[in-house]
Amino acid sequence: MARKQSTRRTVAITILAWFIGLLMFFPILWTAVAAFKSESDAYTLPQNMLSTPWTLENFGIVQERSDYFRYVFNTVIIAVLSTLLGLLFAVPAAWSMAFAPRTTPSSTISGWGWLAIVFSCGLIAAGVLYANGWHPQNAVVGFLLLLLCIVPPTAWVWTRATTDTLLWMLSTKMMPPAGALIAIYLMFNRNGLIFKDWGWINLSEYNLIDSFWGMVPLAMLLNLPIIIWMLYTYFKEIPVEILEAARMDGASLWNEIVRVLTPMALPGIASTCLLNLILAWNEAFWSLNLTNKYAAPLSFFISEYSSPEGQFWAKLSAASLMAIVPILIVGWFSQKQLVRGLTFGAVK
Amino acid sequence: MKKLMTGVVGGFALALMAGTAMAEDTTLTIATVNNGDMIRMQKYTDDFTAANPGIKLNWVTLEENDLRQKVTKDISTKGGQYDVLTIGMYETPIWGKKGWLVPLAGIDDPKDILPAVAGGLSVDGKLYAAPFYGESSFVMYRKDLMAKAGLKMSDTPTWPEIIAAADKMTDRAAGINGICLRGKAGWGENMAFLGTMANSFGARWFDEKWHPQFDTPEWKAAITTYLKVMKDDGPAGASGNGFSENLALFQSGKCGMWADATAAGSFVIDAKASKNAADVGFTIAPDAGFGKRANWLWAWALAIPAGSKKVDAAQKFIGWATSKHYGELIAAKEGWANVPPGTRTSLYKNPEYLKVPFAAMTLASMNAADPMHPTAKPVPYTGIQFVAIPEFAGIGTKVGEIFSSALAGQISADDALKQAQDYTTAEMTKAGYIK
């Protein structure tokens, strides 16, 4: 039986919801209005946005100064390819976690044991570096030391139970991106850690900075934990018996995933894709740091219009509006799908 | 799945092709700030490419702080992403000394560059960056409000005169603030102004042995004067106001006076954007009887990073962008008021240019600035509104935050000075300046 609700309560909740909604929408509304104002009107306080004249001038200036469609193209490439690439990795990963989970750790080494191994390897690496004067010129030594630092923690993750691995994956999202900036920058950059003259091979002509080869995998890796986690939740909702029946009928693993699992989880996959698309579209930190022009997305385009000299709010608003309109339209048309996907499995 | 795979591979191929196709068009990558003069230069590059058909230009335009961050990362790793950099007077001597920049050759008439500017961009007599435009700071004021208050602006104002004028012009009921000054935290924001104000009060950042000087009476006088005049005559919420916010206030007629960059001159006399464009007057920055005025010196300059593989083409481009010819080109197309100011002596001898209302005052302000001797007492550093050491950006920003919170009324002037002194001492000790 439905619970009775007083009219007064309903009205109060509705008003509160509208108030919170408007409060959250206000910055976007302000941006949308400021984009159609002259610079000095956008700046003037108190704002009298409604009584001042409207203009399209800012859009003209932005269009003249930047190749807007190039940025849209770049954003679409990065967002779409990283999402598709992400699915390639995430679907099998989520399948194995949902339908063939490991319930106990596969190694018998205790937590303290692992800690001791990781620390000793680190100490050995530091010792070798110290003996070499911190700068090993020999590439092989450098590579071996890198392996020594990476392999033990990887092996630890590898042997964990599935729930632990899932949590560990999500925990990588908790690291502030600025912490990894210099390392990633040096990996991407010419004359950095990888793309340099190694003596036997000269890689100093290559780099990943400002290229789709760098940005697409990076955007994919950034969102991969979320995609896997979401897909895992959706897959868990699907009765394992259906997959077993398919197996009984002689379906191969490929057919099981592609022809049985994927069609059933389609709403979930679609909403995962949408969410990933939005996240990749809005990503700014890495784009600002690792792109310049050829692979620069819309977040970079917006940043071009912020300036410490002169007035820029109206132009910045116009650029922001142009940047968010495409994804806003995509979001608007797919909101039903998005909400359904996000709440899928929430009610049992 | 097959379709999906084809899509992914196809997409990658397309992206790669697009990347290469664009890459073939480009030779020189120029990183620049998105200030008005720089954006204007991008419109006229045909003049350069027509004369140098083998060279094509690829512009990377960024906001000042983003630019500084990216360029620093690239140059310190010798990444070679850029062939021409836009940097300021703060970075040039530091990077030049480290060998990160290529000394410039092929500059059009180098002796014509204003001596103070050339000095700030050189290391051991070698020019490492060519100035594209330079600026100092001065006082912009409303002649009509001065007349209404029965005052006349002096050609050589002192701080007491400025404060008295601000008191008289303030009319809270009419929404007029006597004076607008920077309050937003940042080494290039409030500290640019406060550093110069402190210089005019005889204060200095460090003594000869690099000991911070915020515990001296000179700093106390400067900061208390600043806080008092802003409280009595400044706009509400001044601790959030930087250049852009004050420009908006001045243009909308809400400030009697505004002490800031000479680059603001062209904005405040622009009748399209400024309410009182016809009533704006300019005078030199004030002093407090210590022989130094509160004006800074800054230049945005073009330099070549040591990692660039196209040094010759880059030298040619810098030669063109900073030449007299470029100035004449802009004058012919956009008028003399839009010629990049503050770099060449010859520009200020041009009678056409001197007709621009703020031209003479800009030159006088730039000539009054001496980066080698910014304040009355001797200092171990160069720079007027900054100290040309790598640690300054961090220290300046933190101290800026402290003074900004004093302006917001969160801490007292004494507390602010003590915190600034303690922080700077700790940082300078850590960096090894104080033994």
Q: Are B358 and B265 in contact, with CB atoms under 8 Å apart? A: yes
The shortest C-alpha distance from A243 to chain B (Å) reads 19
Between B109 and A46, the more confident residue is B109
- Determine the average pLDDT of the residues in B125-152: 94
Give tens-digit pLDDT for B322-336.
999 999 999 999 888
Give tens-digit pLDDT for B264-285.
888 898 888 888 899 999 999 9
**Which residues of chain A lie closer than 8 angstroms to B34, CB-CB?**
304-307
Chain B interface includes A216 (CB < 8 A): yes
**Which residues of chain A lie closer than 8 angstroms to B14, CB-CB?**
77
**Quick one: which H or E segment has residue A228?**
helix A212-236
Q: Is the pLDDT of residue A74 over 90?
A: yes
Predicted pLDDT of residue A346: 53
Q: Where are the domains of chain B?
A: 2-135+297-354, 137-296+377-430
Q: Is the pLDDT of residue B343 over 70?
A: yes
Q: Is the pLDDT of residue A64 over 90?
A: no
Predicted pLDDT of residue A142: 75
Q: Cβ of A309 and B35 within 8 Å?
A: yes
Chain B interface includes A186 (CB < 8 A): yes
pTM equals 0.80
Q: Cβ of B63 and A308 within 8 Å?
A: yes
Share of chain B above pLDDT 90, in %: 64
ipTM above 0.90, yes or no: no
List the single best residue of A273, A292, A304, A312 to mutate versus B (max B Cβ within 10 A): A292
* Nearest residue on chain B to A78, alpha-carbon basis: B15
Q: Looking at the DSSP assignment, which residues form a beta bridge with residue B281? A: B141
Q: Cβ of B60 and A293 within 8 Å?
A: yes
Q: Is the pLDDT of residue B20 over 50?
A: no
Helices marked H in A66-194 — which ranges? 68-99, 111-131, 139-159, 162-171, 177-188
- Determine the average pLDDT of the residues in B77-103: 90
Gap between the Cα atoms of B237 and B254, Å rounded? 13
Q: Cβ of A209 and B66 within 8 Å?
A: no
Chain B interface includes A205 (CB < 8 A): no
Q: How far is CA B52 from CA B26, B27, B46, B57, B316, in A?
A: 13, 12, 9, 11, 9
**Which residues of chain A lie closer than 8 angstroms to B22, CB-CB?**
293-294
The shortest C-alpha distance from A223 to chain B (Å) reads 17
List the single best residue of B77, B272, B298, B308 to mutate versus A (max A Cβ within 10 A): B77
- Determine the average pLDDT of the residues in B228-238: 94
Q: Is the pLDDT of residue A220 over 90?
A: yes
> Between chain A and chain B, how many beta carbons pairs sit less than 8 Å apart?
129
Give residues 69 to 98 of A whose Cβ lies within 8 Å of B: 73, 77, 80-81, 84-85, 87-88
User: How many H-runs (helices) and E-runs (strands) does chain B carry?
Assistant: 18, 10
Average pLDDT of chain B, as a whole number: 89
Predicted pLDDT of residue B15: 47
Predicted pLDDT of residue A136: 56
Gap between the Cα atoms of B338 and B353, Å rounded? 10
The shortest C-alpha distance from A58 to chain B (Å) reads 14
Chain B interface includes A259 (CB < 8 A): no
* Nearest residue on chain B to A207, alpha-carbon basis: B79
Predicted pLDDT of residue A200: 83
For residue B31, what pLDDT band results from cuts at 50, 70 and 90? very high
Between B159 and A192, the more confident residue is B159
Give tens-digit pLDDT for B347-370.
999 999 999 888 989 999 998 888
Q: Cβ of A307 and B267 within 8 Å?
A: no
Gap between the Cα atoms of B334 and A104, Å rounded? 75
Predicted pLDDT of residue B17: 44
Q: Is the pLDDT of residue B310 over 70?
A: yes
**Which residues of chain A lie closer than 8 angstroms to B245, CB-CB?**
43
Share of chain A above pLDDT 90, in %: 36
- Determine the average pLDDT of the residues in B10-15: 49
**Class for the domain spanning B137-296+377-430:** alpha beta
Predicted pLDDT of residue A2: 57
Chain B interface includes A5 (CB < 8 A): no
The shortest C-alpha distance from A306 to chain B (Å) reads 6
List own/partner pairs for A325-333 with CB under 8 A and 24 or more apart.
A326/A72, A327/A277, A327/A278, A327/A281, A327/A282, A330/A274, A330/A277, A331/A274, A331/A278
**Which residues of chain A lie closer than 8 angstroms to B307, CB-CB?**
191
For residue A139, what pLDDT band results from cuts at 50, 70 and 90? low
Nearest to B60 among A73, A292, A305 (CB): A292
What Rg do the C-alpha atoms of chain A give, in angstroms?
26
Q: Do domains B2-135+297-354 and B137-296+377-430 have the same CATH topology?
A: yes
**Which residues of chain A lie closer than 8 angstroms to B132, CB-CB?**
none
DSSP B31: E
Predicted pLDDT of residue B18: 44
Domain made up of B2-135+297-354: CATH architecture: 3-Layer(aba) Sandwich (3.40)
**Which residues of chain A lie closer than 8 angstroms to B70, CB-CB?**
288-289, 292
For residue B6, what pLDDT band results from cuts at 50, 70 and 90? low
Chain B interface includes A39 (CB < 8 A): yes
**Which residues of chain B lie closer than 8 angstroms to A219, CB-CB?**
none
The shortest C-alpha distance from A81 to chain B (Å) reads 6
Share of chain A above pLDDT 70, in %: 92
- Determine the average pLDDT of the residues in A65-83: 93
Give residues 101 to 140 of A whose Cβ lies within 8 Å of B: none
Q: How far is CA B62 from CA A289, B35, B81, B115, in A?
A: 11, 9, 14, 29
Q: Which of A148-157, A302-311, B2-11, B56-65 has the lowest mean pLDDT?
A: B2-11
Q: Cβ of A84 and B16 within 8 Å?
A: no
Predicted pLDDT of residue A205: 80
Q: Which of B65-74, B125-134, B295-304, B386-395 has the lowest mean pLDDT?
A: B65-74
* CA proximity to B314, closest of B325, B324, B303: B303
Chain B interface includes A63 (CB < 8 A): no
Nearest to B251 among A40, A207, A212 (CB): A40
Q: Is the pLDDT of residue A247 over 50?
A: yes
Q: Cβ of A310 and B15 within 8 Å?
A: no
The shortest C-alpha distance from B184 to chain A (Å) reads 11
Q: Is the pLDDT of residue B16 over 80?
A: no
The shortest C-alpha distance from B11 to chain A (Å) reads 7
List the single best residue of A40, A62, A309 to mutate versus B (max B Cβ within 10 A): A309
Gap between the Cα atoms of B143 and A112, Å rounded? 77
The shortest C-alpha distance from A85 to chain B (Å) reads 7
Predicted pLDDT of residue A107: 82
Average pLDDT of chain A, as a whole number: 86
Nearest to B80 among A81, A87, A191 (CB): A191
Predicted pLDDT of residue A224: 94
Q: Is the pLDDT of residue B9 over 60?
A: no
Which residue reads 């000075």 in tokens? B417
Q: Which of B11-15, B135-139, B370-374 has the lowest mean pLDDT?
A: B11-15
For residue A79, what pLDDT band results from cuts at 50, 70 and 90? very high
Which residue reads 């439905």 in tokens? A2
Q: Is the pLDDT of residue A196 over 70?
A: yes
- Determine the average pLDDT of the residues in B399-411: 95
Gap between the Cα atoms of A197 and A204, Å rounded? 5
The shortest C-alpha distance from A301 to chain B (Å) reads 9
- One-letter amino acid of A132: N
Between B68 and B379, the more confident residue is B379
DSSP B246: H
Structure tokens at A205: 């002509």
What backbone phi and psi angles, to 5 degrees, belong to B86?
Answer: -100, 115
